[in-house]
Amino acid sequence: MIPRVQTGNDYRAKTIGVVYHRVVELISKEGIEAWSIERLQTKKQAIAALLRREGYPAAEVPAGVARIHHLVERTISSTHGRWILKKRESGGQEVQVSSYRNSRWVHRYLDRPFVDDGVYWIIDWKTPDCPEGMPVEQFLSREVNRYAPKMREYKQAVQDAGVTLPVKLALFLPAVDRLVEVA
C-alpha cells in the first residue's frame, strides 16, 4: 500500500511535492522517452537523498520515497503525464516569468510551460490524494477552485511577458491521473 500524505500546510506533503517536482523536471529535461519504470527503480536512493536534504523526518524517508516513486510511476505511465513531459523545443520546467504590474515587478514560477499545436500550455503539478470518501469529481473541483486564481496570475504574467498565442491552464494530479483545465 502506498502511504497517503495529508494535504494543506503539512510540511511532509509540501516536501513530497518539492521532490516530485525535481524528479519530473529531470525527466522533462531528458525527455520522457529516456524513462521507464525500471529506470525509475534505480533512482530510489537519489529520491531519499533529496528528501533528507529537504529536512524530511529520517524515520519517514522510506514512506516518502514510496510515495514519490508511486506518483512518478503514475506520471510516466499516464497518457497525460507522457504528453506533458514530452520533450519540446519550446518547453521548460520551473520557468520564471517576470512582469511589471501595478507599479511593481511580479515573479512567477511555472511548473511546466510548453507550446503544443499553437497553444501555450501552463501545467501545474499537484500531488495530493483524493480524500477517502470524497468523489473524485468533487476533489478535482476543489483543487481547481483552490488554484485557479494563481493559474490566472500565471496566464497574465506570460501575456505581459509577450506570449501572444492562446494560453491554456491545467492542473495535473498524478494520484488520480487527471489533467484538468482551469478556466
Q: pLDDT tens-digit profile of 137-164? A: 999 999 999 999 999 999 999 998 899 9
Residue range 86-137, pLDDT digits in tens? 988 777 777 888 877 788 887 888 999 999 999 999 999 999 999 999 999 9
More confident call, 57 vs 87: 57
Bridge-based pairing state of the strands 104-110 and 167-173: unpaired
Domain 90-182: CATH architecture, name and number where available? Alpha-Beta Complex (3.90)
pTM: 0.87
**Portions of the chain given CATH number 3.90.320.10:** 90-182
Give bridge partners of residue 115 from the DSSP assignment. 120
**At 159, phi and psi to the nearest 5?**
-70, -40
**pLDDT at residue 1 greater than cutoff 70:** no
- Decide: 108 and 96 in contact? Cβ < 8 Å: yes
Bridge-based pairing state of the strands 119-125 and 167-173: parallel
Average pLDDT over residues 17-46: 93
What is the rounded CA–CA span in Å between residue 20 and residue 9?
17
- Decide: 176 and 140 in contact? Cβ < 8 Å: yes
- Decide: 114 and 92 in contact? Cβ < 8 Å: yes
State the chain's mean pLDDT as an integer. Answer: 91
What is the rounded CA–CA span in Å between residue 111 and residue 98?
14
